[in-house]
């Protein structure tokens, strides 16, 4: 059967998963009366809640007499590791660009990877039904982007389609015709994307996606480069250096048919399949016939830029809300995660109760923590820190720099430029992006961007959109000022009392509600000044049996600051931790005892 393997790549929220929905529907994958949820490819709970794709997934449709394997990829830069691997197993890419926003940082990142691998992209201008759509200018921007990324003559001669994935149509002009649905896109894929190149020789396949299945065990998805594969066949696994990882038998071969997987009796070269039966083989390993000695080349993955400590929860409330609390359970879970996610790095810290986890950004690490807390884990996590490198030639410290693109209303541009320059960012470009909005491009140190998202939304009344992408390493930029306010710390353990909180309101906004459990060293609010203050939120009203004529003032508390996981990670300082349990997110000092805190502060000053 004729085959085509295509990846859909784009910036976050440009409509990749919606486009896959329409391709599945219009190819006859679903029955006429079948009820299908929106964004069918986003199968994970977190993906559904947040409306973003986190894991790359494959599906397959049949159009005329050709089977098209489609891979949906994430759009966030934090999950770029997923996209880098996927490009190895496809022969073409649909580059989806929003007709109003144009190409954004993640588009640039993924397109540069796709061009390096030699793919010839198809450009799809999506959302032309938007009132602020500007398809012609966006096409010029896409062409400039391809040229800037050193695309070859063939790659620059890319075909273009316009349409709206939501309305379910594609056409060669922005005006339509709209009655052909997705047919023009399917036909273009068949014409423009080359069939998979099949190499000579015995069975070889590079692992691209790893997942665990309760019935079949480890499942590895990849594209077969050469040869054929049958169930029960003996295979071996080689790592990138060519060392033997394991040998074993394939128990099941699954092929994608629509969203479902169906078992196959034989898989041929060029097809994307999932195999089960091996226990150690992982992503970027070569799965091959026992006679093969040389592994397939795997694409190098960009290094992680942000790291965090995952520490055993040792607060007085430890073990009251979660059932997975020991260091061994946390360690095993993180090592299992690192196997399937190549952009994560997990190392044991010098302190035996902690693990150092490095990734691409705070969002990637926050998603991992959120997944773990839903599985019943309790842990404490430190503030995200950037991963520094040493320049071998000069010995200077190098830090990660990100390219930051901020779309903002003109009236708020001044405050954004000021705040970014305080964070040691350089303004590279400022240009209008239509509708009284400006697009500002900065090169900023990753350190300065930790915790800036919330401040940006406050400064611009929620109208700014920030996108960031790893740019490279540059010499250390110097000190960047952190949080300006101190915190309010509980000085005792018990349940918070409304009367006490009411009396303390002038000290600063609270982060807890009456009746919540607090403990010594837990952060209960934000101080109005720049120093930390210990307070007593447990103090009740002194009751006597003397009646008074003055009525008690009704206790009306200001609503507390609600701390989500991302907000908490961005808020804390180096001497603070976030305690994460399945039911709560609490902020605390690293040292709960005030005397230990003073000692740590003094030793820090002595070192400085």
Confidence (pLDDT) at 234: 92
Mean pLDDT, rounded, for 504-517:
91
Averaged pLDDT of the chain: 85
Confidence (pLDDT) at 34: 57
In this structure, of 53-57, 61-65, 99-103, 450-454, the range with the lowest mean pLDDT score is 53-57
Confidence (pLDDT) at 376: 92
482 marked as part of a ligand binding site? no
126 marked as part of a ligand binding site? yes
91 marked as part of a ligand binding site? no
d(CA 236, CA 290): 6
Domains in the chain (CATH in brackets) are 2-192 (3.40.50.300), 204-288 (2.40.30.10), 389-475 (3.30.70.240), 487-607 (2.40.50.250)
User: Is residue 44 predicted with pLDDT exceeding 80?
Assistant: no
pLDDT, tens digit, for every residue of 456-480?
A: 888 888 888 888 878 888 898 888 8
Burial 399-417 (b: 16+ CB within 10 A, else e): bbbbbbbbbbeeebbebbb
pTM exceeds 0.75 for this model = yes
d(CA 484, CA 496): 26
Mean pLDDT, rounded, for 479-498:
87
127 marked as part of a ligand binding site? yes
Distances (CA, A) of 605 to 60, 227, 531, 602: 60, 65, 16, 5
User: Is residue 541 predicted with pLDDT exceeding 90?
Assistant: no
Instruction: Give the CA diameter of the chain.
Output: 97
pLDDT, tens digit, for every residue of 528-539?
A: 988 899 999 998
- What is the percent of the chain with per-residue pLDDT over 90, rounded to a whole number? 21
pLDDT, tens digit, for every residue of 328-377?
A: 999 999 988 887 777 788 988 877 788 999 988 888 888 899 999 999 99
In this structure, of 40-54, 252-266, 275-289, 397-411, the range with the lowest mean pLDDT score is 40-54
Strands (E) across 250-299 are located at 252-257, 260-263, 272-276, 286-288
CA nearest neighbour of 287 among 219, 224, 231, 212:
224
d(CA 135, CA 138): 5
Distances (CA, A) of 272 to 6, 263, 471, 536: 11, 13, 32, 62
Confidence (pLDDT) at 207: 86
**Three-class secondary structure assignment of 515-552:** CCEECCCEEEEECCCCCCEEECCCCCCCCCCCCCCCCC
128 marked as part of a ligand binding site? yes
User: Is residue 524 predicted with pLDDT exceeding 90?
Assistant: yes
User: Is residue 410 predicted with pLDDT exceeding 70?
Assistant: yes
When mean pLDDT is compared over 15-19, 29-33, 76-80, 272-276, the highest value belongs to: 272-276
15 marked as part of a ligand binding site? yes
**Three-class secondary structure assignment of 197-255:** CCECCCCEEEEEEEEEECCCEEEEEEEEEECCECCCCEEEEECCCCCEEEEEECCEEEE
Mean pLDDT, rounded, for 68-76:
81
pLDDT, tens digit, for every residue of 136-147?
A: 989 998 999 888
Confidence (pLDDT) at 494: 92
């Amino acid at each position: 059967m004729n085959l085509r393997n295509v990846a859909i790549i784009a910036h976050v929220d440009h409509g990749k998963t919606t486009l896959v929905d329409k391709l599945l529907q219009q190819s006859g994958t679903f029955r006429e009366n079948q009820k299908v949820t929106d964004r069918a490819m986003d199968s994970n709970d977190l993906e559904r809640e947040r409306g973003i794709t986190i894991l790359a997934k494959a599906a397959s449709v049949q159009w005329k007499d050709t089977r098209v394997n489609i891979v949906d990829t994430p759009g966030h830069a934090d999950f770029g590791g997923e996209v880098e691997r996927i490009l190895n197993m496809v022969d073409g890419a649909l580059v989806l660009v929003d007709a109003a926003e144009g190409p954004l940082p993640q588009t640039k990142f993924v397109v540069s990877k796709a061009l390096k691998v030699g793919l010839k992209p198809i450009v799809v201008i999506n959302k032309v039904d938007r009132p602020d759509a500007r398809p012609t200018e966006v096409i010029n921007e896409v062409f400039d982007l391809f040229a800037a990324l050193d695309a070859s003559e063939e790659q620059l001669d890319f075909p273009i389609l316009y349409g709206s994935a939501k309305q379910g149509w594609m056409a060669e002009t922005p005006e339509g015709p709209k009655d052909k649905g997705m047919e023009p896109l399917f036909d273009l894929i068949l014409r423009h994307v080359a069939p998979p190149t099949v190499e000579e020789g015995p069975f070889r396949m590079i692992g691209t996606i790893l997942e665990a299945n309760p019935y079949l065990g480890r499942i590895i998805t990849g594209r077969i480069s050469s040869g054929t594969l049958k169930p029960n066949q003996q295979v071996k696994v080689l790592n990138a250096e060519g060392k033997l990882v394991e040998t074993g038998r394939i128990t099941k071969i699954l092929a994608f048919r629509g969203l479902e997987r169906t078992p196959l009796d034989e898989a041929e070269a060029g097809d994307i399949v999932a195999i089960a039966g091996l226990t150690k083989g992982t992503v970027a390993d070569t799965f091959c016939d026992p006679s093969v000695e040389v592994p397939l080349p795997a694409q190098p993955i960009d290094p992680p830029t942000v790291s965090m400590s995952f520490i055993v929860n040792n607060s007085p409330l430890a073990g009251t809300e979660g059932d997975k609390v020991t260091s061994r359970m946390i360690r095993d879970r993180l090592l299992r995660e690192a196997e399937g996610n190549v952009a994560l790095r997990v190392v044991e810290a010098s302190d035996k109760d902690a693990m150092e986890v490095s990734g691409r950004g705070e969002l990637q690490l926050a998603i991992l923590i959120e997944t773990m807390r839903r599985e019943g884990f309790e842990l404490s996590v430190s503030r995200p820190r950037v991963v520094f490198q040493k320049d071998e030639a000069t010995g200077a410290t190098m830090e990660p720099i990100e390219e930051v693109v901020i779309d903002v209303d003109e009236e708020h541009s001044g405050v954004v430029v000021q705040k970014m320059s305080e964070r040691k960012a350089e303004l590279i470009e400022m240009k209008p992006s239509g509708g009284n909005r400006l697009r500002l491009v900065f090169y900023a140190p990753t350190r300065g961007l930790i915790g800036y998202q919330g401040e940006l939304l406050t400064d611009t009344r929620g109208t700014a959109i920030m996108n960031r992408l790893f740019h490279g390493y540059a010499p250390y930029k110097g000190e960047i000022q952190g949080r300006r306010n101190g915190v309010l710390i509980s000085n005792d353990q018990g349940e918070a009392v409304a009367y006490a909180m009411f009396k303390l309101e002038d000290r600063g906004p609270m982060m807890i509600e009456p009746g919540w459990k607090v403990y010594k060293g837990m952060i209960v609010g934000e101080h109005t000044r720049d120093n930390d203050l210990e307070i007593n939120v447990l103090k009740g009203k002194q009751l006597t049996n003397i009646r008074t004529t003055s009525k008690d003032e009704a206790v009306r508390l200001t609503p507390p600051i609600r701390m989500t996981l991302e907000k908490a990670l961005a808020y804390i300082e180096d001497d603070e931790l976030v305690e994460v349990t399945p039911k709560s997110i609490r902020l605390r000092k690293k040292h709960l005892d005030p005397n230990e805190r003073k000692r740590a502060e003094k030793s820090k000053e002595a070192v400085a």
